[in-house]
Structure 1
Amino acid sequence: MPTTPSRRVLLRSALAVGAAGLVAACTAAPPPSTPEPPAPAVDPLRALAAAARADASAAASAAASAAPGTPERAAALGAVAAERTAHADALDAEVVRAAGTVDGTPVTAVPTTTTGAAAPATLAEVTAALTAAAAAAGGAAVVAAPYRAGLLGSVAASCAAAVAVLA
Protein backbone atom coordinates (compact mmCIF):
# COMPACT_ATOMS: atom_id res chain seq x y z
CA MET A 1 0.00 0.00 0.00
CA PRO A 2 1.44 3.32 -1.03
CA THR A 3 2.20 5.79 1.68
CA THR A 4 1.06 9.38 1.46
CA PRO A 5 3.92 11.84 1.74
CA SER A 6 3.77 14.21 4.66
CA ARG A 7 3.54 17.96 4.33
CA ARG A 8 7.19 18.30 5.34
CA VAL A 9 8.31 16.00 2.55
CA LEU A 10 6.23 17.91 0.00
CA LEU A 11 7.56 21.25 1.27
CA ARG A 12 11.18 20.05 1.12
CA SER A 13 10.66 18.70 -2.38
CA ALA A 14 9.09 21.95 -3.58
CA LEU A 15 11.94 24.00 -2.10
CA ALA A 16 14.55 21.72 -3.67
CA VAL A 17 12.92 21.98 -7.12
CA GLY A 18 12.63 25.78 -6.80
CA ALA A 19 16.23 26.16 -5.66
CA ALA A 20 17.45 23.96 -8.49
CA GLY A 21 15.49 26.03 -11.02
CA LEU A 22 16.88 29.26 -9.58
CA VAL A 23 20.46 27.99 -9.71
CA ALA A 24 19.98 26.77 -13.29
CA ALA A 25 18.51 30.10 -14.36
CA CYS A 26 21.37 32.07 -12.82
CA THR A 27 24.20 29.97 -14.22
CA ALA A 28 22.89 28.98 -17.64
CA ALA A 29 22.61 32.47 -19.11
CA PRO A 30 25.47 33.57 -21.36
CA PRO A 31 27.18 36.83 -20.49
CA PRO A 32 25.40 39.83 -22.01
CA SER A 33 27.01 41.17 -25.14
CA THR A 34 27.42 44.85 -25.82
CA PRO A 35 25.40 45.76 -28.92
CA GLU A 36 26.86 48.02 -31.55
CA PRO A 37 25.62 51.57 -31.15
CA PRO A 38 23.23 52.49 -33.94
CA ALA A 39 24.56 54.67 -36.72
CA PRO A 40 23.57 58.28 -36.27
CA ALA A 41 20.38 58.96 -38.15
CA VAL A 42 20.26 61.77 -40.63
CA ASP A 43 17.94 64.43 -39.29
CA PRO A 44 14.95 64.82 -41.65
CA LEU A 45 15.05 68.57 -41.08
CA ARG A 46 18.29 68.75 -43.04
CA ALA A 47 16.45 67.95 -46.27
CA LEU A 48 13.77 70.52 -45.48
CA ALA A 49 16.45 73.15 -44.76
CA ALA A 50 18.20 72.38 -48.04
CA ALA A 51 14.89 72.69 -49.89
CA ALA A 52 14.24 76.02 -48.15
CA ARG A 53 17.61 77.33 -49.32
CA ALA A 54 16.90 76.15 -52.87
CA ASP A 55 13.47 77.82 -52.77
CA ALA A 56 15.03 81.06 -51.49
CA SER A 57 17.53 81.00 -54.33
CA ALA A 58 14.79 80.32 -56.89
CA ALA A 59 12.60 83.11 -55.52
CA ALA A 60 15.52 85.55 -55.53
CA SER A 61 16.38 84.68 -59.13
CA ALA A 62 12.73 85.04 -60.13
CA ALA A 63 12.58 88.43 -58.39
CA ALA A 64 15.71 89.58 -60.18
CA SER A 65 14.34 88.55 -63.55
CA ALA A 66 10.81 89.88 -62.98
CA ALA A 67 9.35 91.97 -65.76
CA PRO A 68 10.15 95.66 -65.41
CA GLY A 69 6.48 96.67 -65.00
CA THR A 70 5.82 94.33 -62.06
CA PRO A 71 7.49 95.80 -58.96
CA GLU A 72 4.87 94.28 -56.68
CA ARG A 73 5.63 90.80 -58.00
CA ALA A 74 9.37 91.34 -57.59
CA ALA A 75 8.84 92.60 -54.03
CA ALA A 76 6.68 89.57 -53.18
CA LEU A 77 9.29 87.20 -54.58
CA GLY A 78 11.99 89.01 -52.60
CA ALA A 79 9.92 88.59 -49.44
CA VAL A 80 9.48 84.88 -50.20
CA ALA A 81 13.25 84.55 -50.64
CA ALA A 82 13.83 86.21 -47.27
CA GLU A 83 11.20 84.02 -45.57
CA ARG A 84 12.60 80.81 -47.02
CA THR A 85 16.11 81.83 -45.92
CA ALA A 86 14.74 82.38 -42.41
CA HIS A 87 13.07 78.95 -42.58
CA ALA A 88 16.36 77.32 -43.55
CA ASP A 89 18.17 79.10 -40.72
CA ALA A 90 15.53 78.03 -38.17
CA LEU A 91 15.56 74.42 -39.39
CA ASP A 92 19.38 74.35 -39.30
CA ALA A 93 19.33 75.78 -35.77
CA GLU A 94 16.94 73.01 -34.67
CA VAL A 95 19.19 70.34 -36.20
CA VAL A 96 22.17 71.75 -34.31
CA ARG A 97 20.18 72.01 -31.06
CA ALA A 98 18.90 68.45 -31.34
CA ALA A 99 22.28 66.99 -32.28
CA GLY A 100 24.06 68.47 -29.26
CA THR A 101 27.38 66.68 -29.62
CA VAL A 102 28.81 64.10 -31.96
CA ASP A 103 31.63 62.01 -30.50
CA GLY A 104 32.04 64.54 -27.69
CA THR A 105 32.41 67.48 -30.10
CA PRO A 106 29.67 70.10 -30.07
CA VAL A 107 27.82 70.40 -33.35
CA THR A 108 28.11 74.01 -34.43
CA ALA A 109 27.13 74.13 -38.07
CA VAL A 110 25.00 72.27 -40.54
CA PRO A 111 26.82 71.70 -43.83
CA THR A 112 25.12 73.25 -46.81
CA THR A 113 25.73 72.71 -50.48
CA THR A 114 25.61 75.27 -53.21
CA THR A 115 25.05 74.79 -56.88
CA GLY A 116 26.27 76.79 -59.80
CA ALA A 117 24.28 79.57 -61.40
CA ALA A 118 21.15 78.31 -63.08
CA ALA A 119 18.58 79.92 -65.30
CA PRO A 120 16.22 82.22 -63.39
CA ALA A 121 13.23 80.42 -61.95
CA THR A 122 9.77 81.17 -63.22
CA LEU A 123 6.84 82.16 -61.05
CA ALA A 124 5.24 78.76 -61.72
CA GLU A 125 8.40 76.94 -60.56
CA VAL A 126 8.59 79.00 -57.37
CA THR A 127 4.90 78.40 -56.66
CA ALA A 128 5.27 74.65 -57.28
CA ALA A 129 8.30 74.49 -54.99
CA LEU A 130 6.45 76.38 -52.24
CA THR A 131 3.44 74.08 -52.58
CA ALA A 132 5.70 71.03 -52.26
CA ALA A 133 7.51 72.61 -49.29
CA ALA A 134 4.20 73.28 -47.52
CA ALA A 135 3.14 69.67 -48.03
CA ALA A 136 6.51 68.29 -46.89
CA ALA A 137 6.66 70.45 -43.77
CA GLY A 138 3.02 69.72 -42.93
CA GLY A 139 3.57 65.99 -43.32
CA ALA A 140 6.68 66.10 -41.16
CA ALA A 141 4.86 68.13 -38.50
CA VAL A 142 2.31 65.36 -38.02
CA VAL A 143 4.93 62.88 -36.80
CA ALA A 144 7.38 65.30 -35.15
CA ALA A 145 7.96 66.01 -31.47
CA PRO A 146 5.90 68.95 -30.13
CA TYR A 147 8.51 71.69 -30.53
CA ARG A 148 9.47 70.53 -34.00
CA ALA A 149 5.81 70.16 -34.93
CA GLY A 150 5.28 73.83 -34.11
CA LEU A 151 8.31 74.86 -36.14
CA LEU A 152 7.28 72.71 -39.10
CA GLY A 153 3.66 73.85 -38.90
CA SER A 154 4.83 77.45 -39.01
CA VAL A 155 6.99 76.72 -42.06
CA ALA A 156 4.09 74.95 -43.79
CA ALA A 157 1.69 77.82 -43.07
CA SER A 158 4.19 80.40 -44.30
CA CYS A 159 4.73 78.50 -47.54
CA ALA A 160 0.98 78.16 -48.09
CA ALA A 161 0.52 81.88 -47.47
CA ALA A 162 3.31 82.69 -49.92
CA VAL A 163 1.61 80.58 -52.58
CA ALA A 164 -1.60 82.54 -52.00
CA VAL A 165 0.24 85.87 -52.27
CA LEU A 166 1.98 84.88 -55.48
CA ALA A 167 -1.20 83.59 -57.10
Structure 2
Amino acid sequence: MGVFDEGLALPEQRLGESDEAYWGRVERLTDQVQARDEGADAPAPPDPPVCRDCGLEADRFPTRSSAWVLLEPLEPVVEVPSHLVPPFFRWLIAEDGVAWCPPGTEPAPGESCRVPHRLVCPGIDPPDPWSWLVAQRLENARRAQRLYNPPRLPEGPGDDAVTA
Protein backbone atom coordinates (compact mmCIF):
# COMPACT_ATOMS: atom_id res chain seq x y z
CA MET A 1 0.00 0.00 0.00
CA GLY A 2 1.46 3.37 -0.99
CA VAL A 3 1.27 6.57 1.03
CA PHE A 4 1.01 10.19 -0.10
CA ASP A 5 0.07 13.58 1.31
CA GLU A 6 0.47 13.28 5.08
CA GLY A 7 -0.42 9.62 5.44
CA LEU A 8 -3.30 9.19 2.99
CA ALA A 9 -3.05 5.61 1.77
CA LEU A 10 -3.29 4.50 -1.84
CA PRO A 11 -4.86 1.11 -2.48
CA GLU A 12 -2.73 -1.62 -4.03
CA GLN A 13 -2.93 -1.96 -7.78
CA ARG A 14 -4.73 -5.21 -8.55
CA LEU A 15 -3.05 -7.94 -10.54
CA GLY A 16 -3.75 -7.32 -14.22
CA GLU A 17 -5.35 -3.91 -13.56
CA SER A 18 -4.28 -1.29 -16.08
CA ASP A 19 -2.82 1.99 -14.88
CA GLU A 20 -5.86 3.81 -16.30
CA ALA A 21 -8.28 1.54 -14.40
CA TYR A 22 -6.21 1.83 -11.22
CA TRP A 23 -6.13 5.64 -11.25
CA GLY A 24 -9.83 5.73 -12.10
CA ARG A 25 -10.48 3.61 -9.01
CA VAL A 26 -8.28 5.90 -6.89
CA GLU A 27 -10.21 8.93 -8.19
CA ARG A 28 -13.57 7.34 -7.31
CA LEU A 29 -12.34 6.46 -3.80
CA THR A 30 -11.00 9.99 -3.34
CA ASP A 31 -14.33 11.42 -4.50
CA GLN A 32 -16.17 9.21 -2.00
CA VAL A 33 -13.97 10.43 0.87
CA GLN A 34 -14.41 14.06 -0.20
CA ALA A 35 -18.18 13.62 -0.46
CA ARG A 36 -18.35 12.05 3.00
CA ASP A 37 -16.23 14.83 4.52
CA GLU A 38 -18.47 17.50 2.95
CA GLY A 39 -21.66 15.77 4.07
CA ALA A 40 -22.68 14.89 0.52
CA ASP A 41 -24.27 11.58 1.42
CA ALA A 42 -27.83 12.06 0.19
CA PRO A 43 -29.70 9.23 -1.47
CA ALA A 44 -29.35 9.30 -5.25
CA PRO A 45 -32.34 9.42 -7.59
CA PRO A 46 -34.77 7.74 -7.99
CA ASP A 47 -34.95 7.63 -4.16
CA PRO A 48 -36.77 10.66 -2.71
CA PRO A 49 -34.64 13.54 -1.36
CA VAL A 50 -35.44 12.75 2.26
CA CYS A 51 -33.04 12.88 5.20
CA ARG A 52 -32.48 9.40 6.64
CA ASP A 53 -31.98 10.87 10.14
CA CYS A 54 -35.11 13.04 10.54
CA GLY A 55 -37.41 12.25 7.60
CA LEU A 56 -37.60 15.83 6.32
CA GLU A 57 -37.44 16.54 2.62
CA ALA A 58 -34.68 18.82 1.35
CA ASP A 59 -33.33 20.07 -1.98
CA ARG A 60 -31.00 17.50 -3.56
CA PHE A 61 -28.14 18.43 -5.87
CA PRO A 62 -25.39 16.49 -7.61
CA THR A 63 -21.86 17.41 -6.50
CA ARG A 64 -18.57 17.67 -8.33
CA SER A 65 -17.47 14.48 -6.56
CA SER A 66 -20.27 12.46 -8.23
CA ALA A 67 -22.26 12.29 -4.99
CA TRP A 68 -25.52 13.94 -3.90
CA VAL A 69 -26.07 16.51 -1.17
CA LEU A 70 -29.21 17.62 0.64
CA LEU A 71 -29.40 21.38 1.08
CA GLU A 72 -31.97 23.22 3.14
CA PRO A 73 -34.98 24.14 1.00
CA LEU A 74 -35.34 27.78 -0.01
CA GLU A 75 -38.73 27.76 1.75
CA PRO A 76 -38.78 28.81 4.59
CA VAL A 77 -34.99 29.40 4.49
CA VAL A 78 -33.43 31.60 1.85
CA GLU A 79 -29.79 31.73 0.88
CA VAL A 80 -27.82 32.74 3.94
CA PRO A 81 -25.05 35.35 4.06
CA SER A 82 -21.89 33.25 3.79
CA HIS A 83 -20.18 34.89 6.74
CA LEU A 84 -22.91 33.44 9.03
CA VAL A 85 -22.15 29.86 7.95
CA PRO A 86 -19.18 27.91 9.32
CA PRO A 87 -16.35 27.28 6.83
CA PHE A 88 -16.67 23.99 4.90
CA PHE A 89 -20.49 24.20 5.10
CA ARG A 90 -20.97 26.98 2.54
CA TRP A 91 -22.54 25.36 -0.52
CA LEU A 92 -22.89 27.13 -3.85
CA ILE A 93 -24.86 26.07 -6.90
CA ALA A 94 -23.07 26.42 -10.25
CA GLU A 95 -24.91 27.46 -13.41
CA ASP A 96 -25.05 23.81 -14.49
CA GLY A 97 -26.94 22.91 -11.28
CA VAL A 98 -23.99 21.18 -9.62
CA ALA A 99 -23.45 21.95 -5.93
CA TRP A 100 -19.97 22.59 -4.66
CA CYS A 101 -18.45 23.52 -1.35
CA PRO A 102 -15.59 26.00 -1.79
CA PRO A 103 -12.50 25.49 0.32
CA GLY A 104 -12.37 27.21 3.71
CA THR A 105 -11.69 30.65 2.31
CA GLU A 106 -13.25 33.87 3.49
CA PRO A 107 -16.39 34.71 1.50
CA ALA A 108 -16.57 37.91 -0.53
CA PRO A 109 -18.63 40.74 1.00
CA GLY A 110 -22.31 40.20 0.28
CA GLU A 111 -21.83 36.58 -0.85
CA SER A 112 -24.58 34.14 0.07
CA CYS A 113 -24.69 30.35 0.14
CA ARG A 114 -26.91 27.35 0.72
CA VAL A 115 -26.79 25.44 3.99
CA PRO A 116 -26.40 21.65 4.07
CA HIS A 117 -29.35 19.97 5.75
CA ARG A 118 -27.07 17.95 8.05
CA LEU A 119 -25.96 21.20 9.69
CA VAL A 120 -29.52 21.92 10.88
CA CYS A 121 -30.89 18.38 10.99
CA PRO A 122 -32.78 17.72 14.24
CA GLY A 123 -31.89 14.03 14.02
CA ILE A 124 -28.12 14.39 14.53
CA ASP A 125 -25.84 16.17 16.95
CA PRO A 126 -24.45 19.37 15.46
CA PRO A 127 -20.77 19.59 14.56
CA ASP A 128 -20.30 23.07 16.13
CA PRO A 129 -23.51 25.07 16.18
CA TRP A 130 -23.82 28.77 15.74
CA SER A 131 -26.83 30.43 17.38
CA TRP A 132 -28.94 30.79 14.23
CA LEU A 133 -28.22 27.15 13.33
CA VAL A 134 -29.61 26.07 16.69
CA ALA A 135 -32.80 28.05 15.94
CA GLN A 136 -33.09 26.43 12.49
CA ARG A 137 -32.48 22.96 13.98
CA LEU A 138 -35.27 23.58 16.53
CA GLU A 139 -37.61 24.73 13.75
CA ASN A 140 -36.80 21.57 11.78
CA ALA A 141 -37.47 19.46 14.88
CA ARG A 142 -40.88 21.11 15.18
CA ARG A 143 -41.57 20.48 11.48
CA ALA A 144 -40.47 16.84 11.79
CA GLN A 145 -42.71 16.40 14.85
CA ARG A 146 -45.70 17.68 12.85
CA LEU A 147 -44.76 15.33 10.00
CA TYR A 148 -44.96 12.25 12.24
CA ASN A 149 -47.57 13.46 14.75
CA PRO A 150 -50.21 15.41 12.86
CA PRO A 151 -52.72 17.35 14.96
CA ARG A 152 -55.82 15.42 15.98
CA LEU A 153 -59.07 16.30 14.32
CA PRO A 154 -61.70 17.69 16.68
CA GLU A 155 -64.22 15.09 17.73
CA GLY A 156 -67.86 15.53 16.79
CA PRO A 157 -70.55 16.30 19.41
CA GLY A 158 -71.79 12.69 19.50
CA ASP A 159 -68.38 11.03 19.64
CA ASP A 160 -67.87 11.34 23.40
CA ALA A 161 -71.44 10.64 24.47
CA VAL A 162 -71.78 8.13 27.29
CA THR A 163 -74.62 5.65 27.08
CA ALA A 164 -76.39 4.39 30.21
TM-score (norm 1): 0.26
Structure of higher CA gyration radius? 1
Structure (1 or 2) with the greater strand fraction: 2
TM-score (norm 2): 0.27
Structure (1 or 2) with the greater helix fraction: 1
Higher RCO, 1 vs 2 (CA within 8 Å, ≥6 residues apart)? 1
